[in-house]
């Protein structure tokens, strides 16, 4: 008998039998593979019947035509583990995911074509999307329920009504997947507002709504019922926590009482609930995104941690929310109330890892530069085929006089540290009220160096076309002796540009001892640990940069808060001779050392002034 998945008015049917669907988001790519099964078993024990996950295009096809299904991008292994744990899968396939992920999962190489309209029927975009989707469909087809696998639903696009209204594009995606024999129902999620829902959905698909897991959201189900009376109610995303931004407060540790009330009512209404997130995770490397719609509408980068205050934490342990929500589900299913007993989970602390070697960035440019070009104007990352990391602009300035120069950087994205003849002179931040950076040119000429960090491409809304580096010009206002200014609109020219993705540190030239400097520098040390046991790197004494352990980039740290620790998965650790490398843009506030804790620190006091002297060298 053929295996089938059907959506009827009263629910989901597998092979003709009604299936009780309750699910939660767990993004496999935000956890290393060694931690997948442990988290899946917690989801199964909770009572979930399905796992929801995205597939990030930019991690899967980092360069056009070059695909990656290894390591934390190993989608097939993840699907096999879901089946092993007897969990069905709702696979939100892309091309766009949002998810507070870099550029919403779209690959930045799309931006090299300035004419392209992403997430639309634009032929240039669809050509790239279809190339990718063909590879993806070949990978996922064997895992469909109709072929004996765990995937029961496929999600195409996400929250599309919040971006555009090209319904032809949505239909093209559906038609492509159907032609590739993806024969399970398609689902989508949108806001419940008429504008978002009507512009972002196809009536043939099963459409859910996104909202907070809060009793106040229950009324939105009635509006959804009016939109699609022939299908079950579905919460595409019932938000269990909050997004985590640098420089903004984060609260972790909610008891889940309101969420439990929401869950109880939603189950009674017959709604299929998907909790977002159910498992927290980590934006390893440089994969965190950004928004441009928070507070004062300035660019706001997201943190490395994606703990989200979810029912299962970033490190994979159940929280109070987990048990509060589990009690509701147990009661609904007529199960006996269970004790709240945490599973055995080992985590370690490591005292004081002393860093003993140094590698200054600027003396290692030849070793780290992925591409070097000379140009008479600034060029952005995307035009140099760079996805993530840093880009360094060096410009030779002729000596003409001793007047003070006031630096102007037009189109900065996102954060620049500035140096004249190797001396640090200030920091500029995108969309901020920046300090006046001044310098004079020495006789014989000076070298102006601007190191720009990509802090994460915007992942939501119309500003998703988020180019990185210096998008305009570098120029100076020249101050006369009487305080007036020269009328000057000249550009700085004669740039040497180095692409620094920091994807491979193996060629760094370290020297013994610590170089105490206010310029960017790598510091290295070694340490012993319990192999396979998680921990957290405490970066409380450092200012801004990223941490590598045994060659793997754990992500960014930044002393503006609230995140102080970086999650270090145990599978990265050996018993002996682990290597830690700290890339510090400024200089530490204390000793050149790192400790590891047996708990996270994600809710520290924040410094809302991202340009305060707290992270300038004092």
Given the residues 61, 157, 237, 593, the one annotated as active site: 237
Tokens 């591409």 belong to residue: 371
Q: Which segments within 96-174 are labelled E, that is strand?
A: 151-156
Q: Is-contact 581 505, C-beta < 8 A? A: yes
Report d(CA 79, CA 84) in Å as an integer: 9
Q: Is-contact 77 71, C-beta < 8 A? A: no
> What φ, ψ does residue 111 adopt, rounded to 5°?
-75, -10
Identify whether 237 is a catalytic site residue.
yes
Query: Which 8-state DSSP code applies to residue 278?
Result: S
Q: Is-contact 356 514, C-beta < 8 A? A: yes
What are the residues whose beta carbons fall under 8 Å from the beta carbon of 487, sequence distance 6 or more?
A: none
Report d(CA 43, CA 22) in Å as an integer: 11
Closest CA relative to residue 607, chosen from 131, 194, 247, 261: 247
Angle at 605 between CA 604 and CA 611, to 5 degrees: 120
What are the residues whose beta carbons fall under 8 Å from the beta carbon of 189, sequence distance 6 or more?
A: 155, 158, 159, 207, 208, 209, 210, 236, 237
Angle at 68 between CA 64 and CA 70, to 5 degrees: 170
Helix (H, G, I), strand (E, B) or coil at 421: coil
What CA–CA distances, in Å, run from 408 to 403, 412, 416, 461?
16, 10, 12, 28
Report d(CA 80, CA 470) in Å as an integer: 44
Report d(CA 497, CA 267) in Å as an integer: 57
Q: 11-14 and 17-19: which strand pairing?
A: antiparallel
Report d(CA 101, CA 246) in Å as an integer: 14
Given the residues 102, 159, 584, 593, the one annotated as active site: 159
Q: At what angle do helices 36-46 and 75-84 cross, to 10 degrees?
A: 40
Identify whether 168 is a catalytic site residue.
no
What are the residues whose beta carbons fall under 8 Å from the beta carbon of 392, sequence distance 6 or more?
A: 365, 369, 449, 450, 451, 452, 497, 498, 500
Tokens 């002796």 belong to residue: 481
Closest CA relative to residue 468, chosen from 483, 484, 455: 455
Q: Is-contact 213 264, C-beta < 8 A? A: no
**Torsion angle, alpha carbons of 460, 463, 464, 469, to 10:** -130
Query: What is the tally of helices (H) and strands (E) in the chain?
Result: 10, 36
Tokens 């930044």 belong to residue: 558
Report d(CA 185, CA 475) in Å as an integer: 55
As a residue count, the chain comes to: 618
What are the residues whose beta carbons fall under 8 Å from the beta carbon of 250, sequence distance 6 or more?
A: 242, 244, 303, 309, 562, 563, 602, 603
Closest CA relative to residue 298, chosen from 85, 24, 594, 610: 610
**Torsion angle, alpha carbons of 326, 328, 333, 335, to 10:** 70
Which residues are tagged catalytic? Answer: 159, 237
């Amino acid at each position: 008998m053929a295996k089938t998945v059907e959506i009827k008015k009263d629910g989901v049917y597998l092979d003709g039998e009604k299936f009780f669907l309750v699910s939660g988001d767990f993004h496999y790519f935000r956890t290393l593979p060694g931690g997948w099964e442990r988290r899946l078993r917690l989801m199964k024990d909770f009572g979930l019947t399905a796992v929801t996950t995205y597939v990030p295009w930019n991690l899967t096809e980092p360069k056009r035509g070059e695909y990656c299904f290894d390591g934390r991008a190993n989608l097939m292994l993840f699907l096999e583990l879901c089946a092993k744990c007897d969990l069905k899968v709702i696979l939100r396939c892309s091309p766009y995911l949002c998810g507070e992920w870099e550029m919403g999962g779209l690959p930045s190489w799309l931006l090299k074509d300035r004419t392209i309209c992403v997430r639309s029927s634009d032929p240039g975009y669809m050509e790239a999307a279809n190339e990718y989707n063909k590879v993806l469909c070949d990978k996922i087809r064997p895992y469909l329920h109709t072929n004996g696998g765990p995937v029961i639903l496929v999600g195409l696009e996400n929250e599309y009504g919040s971006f555009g209204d090209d319904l032809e594009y949505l239909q093209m995606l559906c038609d492509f997947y159907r032609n590739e024999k993806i024969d399970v129902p398609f689902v989508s999620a949108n806001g419940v507002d008429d504008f978002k829902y009507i512009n972002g959905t196809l009536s043939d698909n099963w459409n859910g709504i996104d909202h907070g897991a809060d009793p106040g959201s229950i009324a939105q189900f009635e509006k959804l019922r009016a939109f699609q009376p022939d299908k079950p109610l579905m919460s595409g995303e019932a938000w269990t926590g909050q997004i985590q931004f640098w420089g903004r407060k984060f609260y972790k540790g909610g008891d889940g009482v309101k969420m439990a009330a929401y869950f109880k009512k939603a189950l009674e209404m017959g709604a299929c609930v998907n909790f977002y997130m159910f498992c927290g995770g980590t934006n390893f490397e440089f994969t965190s995104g950004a928004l441009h719609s928070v507070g004062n509408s300035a660019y706001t980068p997201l943190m490395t941690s994606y703990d989200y205050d979810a029912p299962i934490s970033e490190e994979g342990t159940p929280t109070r929310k987990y048990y509060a929500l589990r009690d509701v589900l147990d009661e609904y299913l007529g199960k006996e109330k269970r004790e709240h007993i945490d599973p055995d989970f080992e985590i370690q602390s490591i005292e004081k890892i002393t860093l003993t070697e140094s590698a200054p960035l600027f003396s290692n440019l030849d070793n780290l530069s992925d591409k070097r070009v000379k140009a008479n104007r600034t060029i952005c990352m995307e035009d140099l085929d760079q996805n993530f990391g840093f880009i360094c602009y060096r410009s030779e300035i002729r000596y003409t006089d001793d007047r003070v120069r006031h630096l102007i950087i037009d189109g900065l994205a996102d954060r620049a540290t500035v140096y004249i003849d190797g001396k640090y002179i200030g920091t500029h931040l995108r969309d901020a009220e920046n300090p006046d950076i001044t310098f004079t040119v020495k006789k014989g000429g000076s070298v102006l160096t601007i190191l720009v960090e990509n802090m994460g491409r915007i992942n939501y809304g119309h500003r998703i076309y988020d180019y990185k580096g210096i998008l305009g010009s570098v120029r100076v206002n020249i101050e006369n002796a009487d305080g007036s200014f020269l009328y000057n609109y000249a550009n700085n020219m004669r740039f040497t540009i180095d692409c620094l993705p920091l994807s491979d540190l193996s060629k760094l030239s370290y020297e013994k001892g610590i170089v105490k400097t206010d310029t960017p520098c790598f510091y290295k040390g070694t340490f012993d640990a319990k192999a396979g046991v998680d921990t957290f790197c405490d970066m409380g004494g450092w200012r801004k940069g990223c941490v590598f352990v045994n060659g793997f980039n754990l992500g960014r740290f930044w002393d503006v808060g609230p995140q102080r620790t970086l999650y270090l998965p145990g599978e990265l650790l050996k018993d002996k001779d682990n290597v830690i490398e700290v890339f510090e843009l400024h200089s530490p506030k204390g000793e050149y050392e790192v400790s590891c804790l047996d708990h996270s620190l994600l809710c520290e006091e924040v410094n809302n002034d991202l340009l305060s002297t707290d992270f300038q060298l004092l």
